[in-house]
Amino acid sequence: DTEVTQTPKHLVMGMTNKKSLKCEQHMGHRAMYWYKQKAKKPPELMFVYSYEKLSINESVPSRFSPECPNSSLLNLHLHALQPEDSALYLCASSLSVWGVQPQHFGDGTRLSIL
């Protein structure tokens, strides 16, 4: 069990659907992250939030829309995804984005686009 909770664990959606991924942590961390991981590849950074503000966007397509409603929650809104977007989506958190704080990952959401 991890202290970063992601829901749902699995999601299957069509290319015209709208869905959201959710991430929650109660460790008092002020930095939260979204990563995408394809099979047999390392995680790739998508977004970084620091104190509920978007800090880094790694040129992610606009069909992915992040949201950080408060310090404990991070959402990733999905719309009009493509089959190549099928992957494991990982949320992580750390004490802050500054310095040397390690990141702790949730269990991920496995997303399949039909």
Q: Binding to another protein (CB under 8 A): which residues in 57-86?
A: none
Q: Does 48 bind another protein (CB under 8 A)?
A: yes
Q: Does 90 bind another protein (CB under 8 A)?
A: yes
> What separation, in Å, do the N-terminal and C-terminal C-alpha atoms of the chain show?
30
Report how far residue 69's alpha carbon sits from residue 53's, in angstroms, rounded to the nearest whole number: 10
Tell which one of 55, 61, 80, 82 touches another protein (CB under 8 A): 55
DSSP sequence for 54-104? EEEE-S--TTEEEEEEETTEEEEEEES--GGG-EEEEEEEES-SSTTPPPE
Q: Does 93 bind another protein (CB under 8 A)?
A: no
Q: Does 98 bind another protein (CB under 8 A)?
A: yes
Residues in the site for another protein, rule: CB under 8 A?
2, 31, 33, 41-43, 45, 48, 50, 55-56, 88, 90, 94, 97-108
